């Protein structure tokens, strides 16, 4: 559903992401609601990659880490970025290391919860 009461604004970056197969269909609803905001968001979010400060393989490692993190868990993105990293020459060991590093984000759950469990168990004891 597109709002036809507003003039449509150019969204060259969003259009480019679609053409490159980098567009996530989960972004469609926000794009339909506000294409200009979505364009600005994509511009901000992709600027570090477009500036070329990091090499493309490192960018893919970071994308894998973000998509695989316990706060994101976006499997299609993990798969897409693993494939791109492999295409850029990444090794199995490098990608495994990225996944191992990001897995420690979940350690905070046990680090927070375990002391609470110990406290609560201590309260139950006479």
What are the extents of the domains in the chain? 9-52, 54-126
pLDDT band at 8 (very low <50, low <70, confident <90, very high): low
Specify whether the CB–CB gap between 12 and 38 falls below 8 A.
Answer: no
2: left (phi over 0), alpha (psi -120 to 50) or beta: beta
98: left (phi over 0), alpha (psi -120 to 50) or beta: alpha
Per-residue pLDDT at 16 exceeds 90: yes
Q: What is the pLDDT of residues 83-95, one digit of tens each?
A: 999 999 999 999 9
Q: What's the pTM value of the predicted model, to 2 decimals? A: 0.74
Q: What is the pLDDT of residues 23-72, one digit of tens each?
A: 989 899 999 999 999 999 999 988 988 899 999 999 999 999 999 998 88
């Amino acid at each position: 559903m597109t709002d036809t009461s507003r003039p449509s604004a150019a969204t060259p970056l969003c259009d480019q992401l679609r053409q490159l197969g980098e567009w996530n269909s989960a972004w469609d609803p926000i794009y339909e609601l506000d294409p200009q905001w979505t364009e600005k968001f994509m511009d901000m979010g992709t600027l570090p990659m477009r500036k070329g400060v990091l090499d493309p393989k490192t960018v893919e490692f970071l994308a894998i880490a973000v998509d695989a993190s316990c706060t994101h868990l976006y499997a299609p993105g993990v798969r897409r970025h693993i494939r791109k990293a492999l295409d850029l020459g990444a090794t199995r060991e490098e990608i495994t290391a990225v996944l191992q590093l990001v897995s420690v984000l979940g350690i905070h759950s046990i680090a927070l919860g375990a002391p609470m469990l110990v406290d609560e168990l201590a309260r139950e004891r006479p």
